[in-house]
Amino acid sequence: MRAAGLSLALALLSGCASHPLGYLEGAAGPAARPLQSIAVGLTLIAVVGSLVTGLLLAAAIVNGRRKAKREGDGVKGHGGGLPWIWWGTGLTFPIFVAMAVWTLVTTRAVAEQQGSSPVTLEITGHRWWWEVRYRTPEPAGDLLTADDIVIPVGVPVRLKLMSADVIHSFWVPKLAGKMDMIPGHTNSTWFQADTPGIYRGQCMEFCGLEHARMAFTVRAVPREAFLQWYARNLAPAAAAAQQALFTARCGLCHAVRGTSAGGLVGPDLTHVASRPTLAAGTLPMTLPALDLWLHDTQGVKPGSYMPQVPLSDTERKAIVTYLAGLK
């Protein structure tokens, strides 16, 4: 019943049949379920309280008008209304205290990770994309990617959150609550996906012009598939005929492992074509989208720190072909 009500509310908010707010509905992990339960509970309390207050206010208005007709509308004393204020305060204060205690207990329980984390991610927010680094006991096993997080199903994942510029906020509604990313400070949290799927994440702290298009994906896959993905993405990029052109035109800002392109300003593009989206969720990862991004970067994402690189049609098509082959 509660899930059906939440689904209906989201459908009404979305205003169309495509259900664009579906990524908010339901919880897919132990770090999100208590938070979504408390969100539903507090919302219900607020709705009931608003309805009761509205009904009492309407009743007071009707009663006051009737009394004014009988006795006239001259200015009088409080007319016995003050006791109702004390009654209202006395009834609502314990409810507010209970809501606060419930919130504190729930958030404290969620903050304490369940079980050990064999997977640790360092995630750094940039304007406007996400740097994702998988940490392992051996530095040679570390993996750097961007805007796309792949995790094994049923495994707690430790997150270390940082910012390279301004305050960002990391949020995957179906997996965990929001956590701020503050320059010069590291915040820690965790999440876990109990079912395979693709979960949308989003920056939730206004961080500038392209804040709304600073998204990412979390892909939860079976453990075997995760290990295969990790090994495949840890391998250097395959050699290609267009590699020299890419290094000359893009290599100062972007890195591709196994090549001389070693830029640190923009996202690491090794195996970029295996990611589901481009430019932090702005475009799908397709050949036309890659071509559009290189042809009109500022038109697609105004304010992006990636400059409009002057490329001829031949150069652009060659680089698109190269990037599409980085899987």
Neighbours of 197 (CB within 10 A): 13
Q: How confident is the model at residue 305 (pLDDT cuts 50, 70, 90)?
A: very high
Task: Please give the pLDDT value at position 263.
Answer: 92
φ and ψ of 88, to 5 deg: -60, -45
For residue 13, what pLDDT is reported?
39
Structural domain including 97 reads 31-111
Q: How many domains does the chain have?
A: 3
The answer to whether 127 touches 114, Cβ cutoff 8 Å, is no
SS3 113: coil
- Contact of 234 with 227, CB cutoff 8 Å: no
Per-residue pLDDT, 9: 42
Interior CA angle at 201 toward 27 and 209, to 5°? 145
Same domain? For 194 and 133 the reply is yes
Is 153 domain-assigned? yes
The mean of the pLDDT values for the chain is 86
Tens-place pLDDT, residues 95-138: 889 889 998 888 888 887 767 778 999 999 999 999 999 998 87
- Cβ atoms of 118 and 129 within 8 Å: the answer is no
Asked whether residue 48 falls in the same domain as residue 129, the answer is no
Q: Are residues 128 and 145 in the same domain?
A: yes
**pLDDT range class, residue 82, cuts 50, 70, 90:** low
Give me the pLDDT at residue 214, please: 96
CA–CA dist 263, 257 (Å, integer)? 10
Of residues 21, 27, 25, 20, the one with CA closest to residue 5: 25
131 sits in which H/E element: strand 129-135
pLDDT tens sequence across 194-238: 999 999 999 999 999 999 999 999 999 999 999 999 999 999 988
The residues pairing with 122 across neighbouring beta strands, listed in sequence order, are 133, 160
CATH code of the domain in which 281 resides: 1.10.760.10
Whether residue 229 is preceded by a cis peptide bond, meaning omega within 30 degrees of 0, is: no
pTM assigned to the model? 0.80
